[in-house]
A = this chain, B = another copy of it.
Amino acid sequence: MANYVPALDRLVEEFRKMPSIGTKSAERLAFYVLSLKDKEIQSLIDAITNAHDKIHQCKICKNLTENEICTICASGKRDRSVICVVSDPRDVVALEKTHEYRGLYHVLHGVISPMNGVGPEQLTIKDLMSRLSDNTVKEIIMATDPTIEGEATAMYISRLLKPFDITVTRLAYGIPVGAELEYADEVTLSRALEWRREI
């Protein structure tokens, strides 16, 4: 990649740092940027600066927001007795799309992962605990990813919640709706059997 002009090499390098962008994609993006008109470049840069400057974590739930408190926490229509704990802001978006959940959220911004040097203190667990002091919260739904690290994080937090008079629940495991049974992995199938319900 030292064959281009320096300014181009540098731009390719910047794009290569981005997640799931390899050299070829980075080159494609760099050439795309070169093809942009002044106005389009400005729009791209504005969007980057704007997002960087305006977006921060909600004071309460740590979800991303442009305000001090996010729209979900600020809403009068949400059930304040339930908190759904997720690892990533994208999970909030996914859950909101169901239109089924009316409670609040808490975004951990990661999962406990000793392999990657992420301990409980790097997550927003303390902020979650401080939300419980006024006894409004009756249920906490652990909605971390069903991965080893997601599980471990859910277990860790639920242990911390033991002393409180709070019901701690976990999203159901099972076969994804629309999937074919024969392609489900054994762990998922075992869980689906274990979590079966009377109909």
Docked-complex contact A7 and B44, CB < 8 angstroms: no
If over half of A's interface residues share one DSSP class (helix, strand or loop), that class is named, otherwise mixed; here it is helix
Knowing A4-B93, A45-B45 are in contact, say whether A51-B65 is a contact too (CB < 8 A): no
Docked-complex contact B28 and A14, CB < 8 angstroms: no
User: How many copies are assembled?
Assistant: 2
Docked-complex contact B66 and A27, CB < 8 angstroms: no
Q: How far is the CA of A96 from the CA of B11 in the complex (A)?
A: 20
Q: A6, A8, A29, A49 — which one has the most chain B CB atoms within 10 A of its CB?
A: A8
Q: How far is the CA of A28 from the CA of B96 in the complex (A)?
A: 18
Docked-complex contact B41 and A8, CB < 8 angstroms: no
Minimum distance in angstroms from A165 CB to a CB of chain B? 33
Docked-complex contact B64 and A3, CB < 8 angstroms: no
Q: Quick one: closest B residue to A55, CB to CB? A: B7
Docked-complex contact A52 and B47, CB < 8 angstroms: no
Q: Mark A63-90, 1 if CB is under 8 A from B, else 0.
A: 0111000100000000000000000011
Q: Quick one: closest B residue to A53, CB to CB? A: B7
What residues of B have a CB within 8 angstroms of the CB of A34 in the complex? 51-52, 55, 64
Which of A17-25, A120-128, A155-163, A170-178 sits within the interface? Answer: A17-25
User: Is A32 in the interface zone, CB < 8 Å from B?
Assistant: yes
Residue in B4, B28, B51 whose CB lies within 8 Å of A33 = B51
Q: How far is the CA of A1 from the CA of B113 in the complex (A)?
A: 29
